[in-house]
Structure 1
């Protein structure tokens, strides 16, 4: 079929085709320009992400992928019981003792240098303040003790000393914990079955501190506070995606439900004239004072955090101590000698422990110190630089987080012979390792 271009209809048709072809070319050119601009913008963002602004020289390191950073690598589990996490170890080998990274959307400088760590804590309140990532702050609560600075932080810490300070430890806690531990040990022995030490000690610690804090008894209520804490713990170290079905979401739900139990208990306590003799009674009285900064919300979050700290860290330390002792028969022999000598000196073997006996347990304290050194229960401590800070020729920019890694000091071969070996004798008073540790370390175990 031939189109007659001399006719008006044919000429108009050709004109329309030419316009359409020209429009396609323009559209194609616009799209190419937009794609080019997008590529340039993405390239610029990636460059700026990998090369952050700094009024000085940044520590070496990698910022990972934009927004995600190196979060995925950071959350890879450490299969070693008490060695340095692989994320930290691999970057130490590549970049040295001070390196930069990005975790859950925050720019972070990681310090594994004991001297730098000491300087960071010396400058707390001046160049650095307590700060955590957004996701962790969401988990522990915006009103948690960990988010307050300077005078407010000191005031809240002093409130806690009413519960676990030296005076209360000497007068009450040591006797109550002795009784609670004896009861549990007799119960485990009478059953004659294999005991899951982590689960058993977790239950023991949780029940004791729940009673001390809010007079809570798991057997007498349907609220099941411990189940909520278990849900909270299961997602504490997880990728921060708040979607139903994820560990992070379960963690937040566990926290919300646990806070509700504590808040309901506090509401009931406000209108009650009965003295329960627990920490909550003390906080309720403190909230009622006119000149206090303590609010009900802060008090509830404080109890939540205290129970979490006691529940997880104490049970983990006890479990590791039992494993270390069972793996080292000579340690068990010396511990047995020390405690049998104390029992023989008593008028009655069924007497409760005294403060003098506790202070005389020299080797027991050495075992505790060595357990804490190897356990490294706290994987990292975070601070935020409030201004540009110079460290070892590098600049930590204002607003960046600094992550201090305690395990580096505790497992430093320059301070400890064979640092991965469980050796309580290194804590003897005349030990060079003990003297060296106290003169150089920033984190004093004993």
Structure 2
């Protein structure tokens, strides 16, 4: 990756981010730091006031309750960790954290991270130009798919799931118009396809467990949840989909931003080396 060209790798994301902040600034000049708007088809209070935002975050769960627009809840599912609040959210979170215990991080996950990192790096050609964001998304999706359902990168079923997931993602933050051809309708259809795929995996695992034919190599979240939780089928499906969504989106963005900002911090690069 040429040192002089990192900005072009992130241009689409940067432009969309700039346009978003331009819109916010225009609204601020017209209405002030706190104003009413309509986002995702719902009435919304938008705050660009640092003091108010800090107060809200510090009082989440007491004076304020975390929630998402109905369009997002409709796509992610009612049992998604991103939609749940209170005790049920806590229980789902504990299940996920117990799976990602310190022992597992040391003995399994870190090796998987290195393995998938090398797989991506080995596809790069010398002096080629590529999209850092696309490569980060490829890396995080393959890593999540492997640790959630033991799916190998490059396998036909993994690539098909990735294709459905991309369509699903495009509709998560779209206008909630359930009409033919809209991103929202396509996302709902992809969600249905993904859940059927996960459920089929579940049925195979459950049958193997009953027959005593468990595969020791399938040491993943799906296997762990089936053995150590009392969640219903619907809850497990929404949990896995929400973790795939949350882990992939947050990690890929963080990696992309790290690549973008690292050239401006030689000390950080030296420490990483």
- Counterpart in 1 of 2:246? 309
Q: Is 1:282 equivalent to 2:227 in the alignment? A: no
- Corresponding residue to 2:201 among 248, 260, 265: 265
Q: Identify which of 90, 93, 111 aligns with 2:29.
A: 93
In 2, Cα distance between equivalents of 1:228 and 1:152: 28
Alignment of 1:395-434 (within 5 A): none
Contact 1:228 1:258 in 2 (8 A): yes
Deviations 1:149-184 (A, max 9, x none): 222111111111124455533443223212321342
Instruction: Tell me if structure 2 keeps the 8 A contact 1:162–1:168.
Output: no
Give SS of 2:124's match: helix
Q: Which has the higher contact order (CA 8 A, sep 6+)?
A: 2
> Matched residue of 2:179: which SS?
coil
Contact 1:101–1:109 (8 Å) recurs in 2: yes
Q: Is the counterpart of residue 227 in structure 1 residue 163 in structure 2?
A: yes
Q: Kindly tell me: are residues 92 and 284 of structure 1, through their superposed partners in 2, closer, same or farther at Cα, counting changes over 3 Å?
A: same
Other structure's SS at 2:45 match: strand
Structure (1/2) with the larger helix percentage: 2
Q: Structure 1's 125 and 316: CA in aligned 2 closer, same or farther, altered over 3 A?
A: closer
Separation (CA, whole Å) in 1 of partners of 2:16 and 2:67:
28
Distance 1:284 1:272 in 2: 12
Give the alignment's Cα RMSD to 1 decimal.
Answer: 2.6
Structure 1 unaligned segments of length 5 or more: list them: 1-76, 341-446
* 1:115 alignment counterpart: 51
How far residue 312 of structure 1 moved from its aligned partner, in angstroms, is: 2.5
Number of aligned residues? 254
Asked if structure 1 preserves the Cα contact closer than 8 Å seen for 2:168 and 2:186, the reply is yes
TM-score norm. by structure 2 comes to 0.81
TM-score normalised by the chain length of structure 1: 0.52
The answer on 1:207 being equivalent to 2:105 is no
Note the C-alpha offset of 1:271: 1.2
* Alpha-carbon shift at residue 235 of structure 1 (Å): 2.5
Report the counterpart of residue 334 of structure 1 in structure 2: 267
Question: C-alpha separation between the residues in 1 aligned to 2:270 and 2:23?
Answer: 42
SS in 2 for 1:108: strand
The separation in 1 between residues aligned to 2:98 and 2:40, in whole angstroms, is 36
Q: Is the 8 A contact 2:78 2:84 kept in 1?
A: no
In 2, the alpha carbon distance for the partners of 1:138 and 1:160 equals: 22
